[in-house]
Amino acid sequence: MSQLFTPITIGPLKLANRIVIAPMCQYSADDGLTTDWHTIHLGHMALSGAGLLIIEATGVEPIGRITNGCVGLYSDETEAALKRTIDSVRKYSDIPIMIQLAHAGRKGSSQRPWEGGQLLAPKDGGWVPQGPSAIPQLPTEPAPQEIDAAGLKRIREAFVQATKRSVRIGFEGIELHNAHGYLLHQFLSPIANQRTDAYGGSLANRMRFPLEVFEAVRAATPANVSLGIRISATDWAEGGWTPEESVEYGNALKALGCDFIDVSSGGVAHQQKIPLGPKYQVPLATQIKKGTGLPTMAVGLITEAKEAEEIIVNGEADMVALARGMLYDARWPWHAAAELGASVQAPKQYWRSQPRGLTTLFGDAKTGGR
């Protein structure tokens, strides 16, 4: 029996299998509002047979978005738009759906990737990004505005309000984005955080604000909603955040009621040196799984069904999350199930696509007709 297609429970949430659709920015929102594109995109993903769908990084305040095209959840209008999108998807799929709440910090006010991805100046429609310290992401860019005490309070409350909006929309889970060089990761990393107050310097100080945000979100999250976090387990740069610090951070999160850790890496340092290759981030997930005992998601260049199966069988991680692989093949879980001799849930309208010889791929699907 395929272990990839066995159920798992993360906090209060039970998943039918261990394939997770990771958050994927679409840069296609209209002033923070989801559009028809998001309904189409998430509809594809929701019919994939995966165990869990996590929607893209969603800004908790306007300047917390990465680009002008990023989704937000900071007003009644953005909440209503996102609810319409999710309600449309739910009409045809009962896949559990999480939201990833995020703040871009100093990486905010960027152009969309297909427009170059560079920092967008206020005169060109951007804004002045904020960060833990006045240190730019790239040496050629102007420095962000350092966040003061009032700003820390504002951002913490923005995460809380976005959490309450997420619950009203009906998400079964929330993932805080603490990876890829965005704000919460910036506070953790000595590369981006060179503050001299209680939020900088020592590991305990650098963890302080992200932990405060998590604790505030946990208090606003009902017991029936799963709450976890995505982290960059290493900066892949000298003097940066390390896997050992990630384990210590993970244990602090566990004490606050964290249900899972989604383990990625990099993004905060322009000088990072990432050893790209198949499953290159999986050992990080394994280290955090062993060091904290929390359920972990492994990500990064996992493309083959057998690779994903081995990760679960060998206990390297508890779940496998795919992003680009799902964009390339929105039926990846179907194909993985066919290869591994498992079954997936599929919409009735697609039952007749079941190939000959794979009569149990869609469970008890009846494929008759005239």
**Does residue 362 form part of some domain?**
no
Residue 88: predicted pLDDT: 98
Look at residue 311 and tell me whether its pLDDT is greater than 90: yes
- On whether residue 367 sits in a domain, the answer given is no
pLDDT of the residue at 369 = 58
Report how far residue 343's alpha carbon sits from residue 49's, in angstroms, rounded to the nearest whole number.
Answer: 9
d(CA 32, CA 58): 9
pLDDT of residue 31: 97
CA 129 to CA 121: how far, in whole Å? 10
Domain membership flag for residue 110: yes
pLDDT computed for residue 359 by the predictor: 81
In a domain, 360, yes or no: no
Q: Is residue 84 one of the residues assigned to a domain?
A: yes
pLDDT (average), residues 329-334: 96
**Looking at residue 325, what is its pLDDT?**
95
Q: Give the model confidence (pLDDT) of 342-352 as tens digits.
A: 999 999 999 99
Segment 318-327 shows an average pLDDT of 97
Report the pLDDT value the prediction gives residue 370, as an integer from 0 to 100.
60
Task: Give the rounded distance of the alpha carbon of 47 from its chain centre.
Answer: 19
Domain assignment of residue 149, yes or no: yes
Confidence of residue 368 (pLDDT cuts 50, 70, 90): low
Q: For residue 356, what pLDDT is reported? A: 83
> 245 or 277: which carries more pLDDT confidence?
245
User: Residues 272-281: what's their mean pLDDT?
Assistant: 92
| The pLDDT of residue 249 is above 80 | yes
pTM exceeds 0.95: yes
> 141-191 pLDDT, tens per residue?
999 999 999 999 999 999 999 999 999 999 999 999 999 999 999 999 999
For the chain, helix, strand, coil in percent to 5 are 35, 15, 50
Q: Report the domain count for the chain.
A: 1
**pLDDT value of position 5:** 98
pLDDT-based confidence at residue 365 (cuts at 50, 70, 90): confident
| Percent of the chain clearing pLDDT 70 (strictly above) | 99
Q: Return the CATH number at 280.
A: 3.20.20.70
pLDDT of 355 reads: 87
The Cα angle at residue 22 between residues 21 and 23, in degrees rounded to 5: 120
Candidate list 182, 199, 328, 350, residue with the active-site label: 182
> How much is the average pLDDT of 201-229?
98
Extract long-range pairs of 133-142: CB within 8 Å, 24+ residues apart. Answer: 133/192, 133/193, 133/194, 133/195, 133/200, 135/106, 135/191, 135/192, 135/194, 136/106, 137/106, 137/107, 137/181, 137/270, 138/270, 139/270
Enclosing domain of residue 118: 8-353
Mean pLDDT of 235-261: 98
Task: Decide if 365 is inside a domain.
Answer: no
Let me know if residue 200 belongs to a domain: yes
What is the rounded average pLDDT for all residues in the chain? Answer: 96
At 357 the pLDDT is 82
Tokens describing residue 241 = 């955040």
DSSP for residue 184 = H
pLDDT tens digits for range 106-143:
999 999 999 999 999 999 999 999 999 999 999 999 99
Q: Is 182 a catalytic residue?
A: yes
**Bigger pLDDT: 43 or 363?**
43
